[in-house]
Amino acid sequence: MPRYNIKPNTYMMRFTLLIALFFSVALQAQNNAIAPR
């Protein structure tokens, strides 16, 4: 149980958003490498 006054949800959302952004960029790069326009 966290004993802090800060909301862990904010950090969790930021972390998840960062992961999603990185995953999206990686997927886009992979798609471009496999099937370039």
pTM score of the predicted model:
0.54
Q: How many CA atoms lie within 13 A of 9 on its CB side?
A: 1
* CA 27 from centroid of its chain's CA atoms: 12
**pLDDT the model gives residue 29:** 85
CA distance 27 to 36: 13
Angle at 25 between CA 30 and CA 36, to 5 degrees: 35
pLDDT tens for each residue of 1-37: 556 666 667 888 889 999 999 999 998 888 777 766 6
CA distance 5 to 2: 9
Biggest CA-to-CA distance, the chain: 52
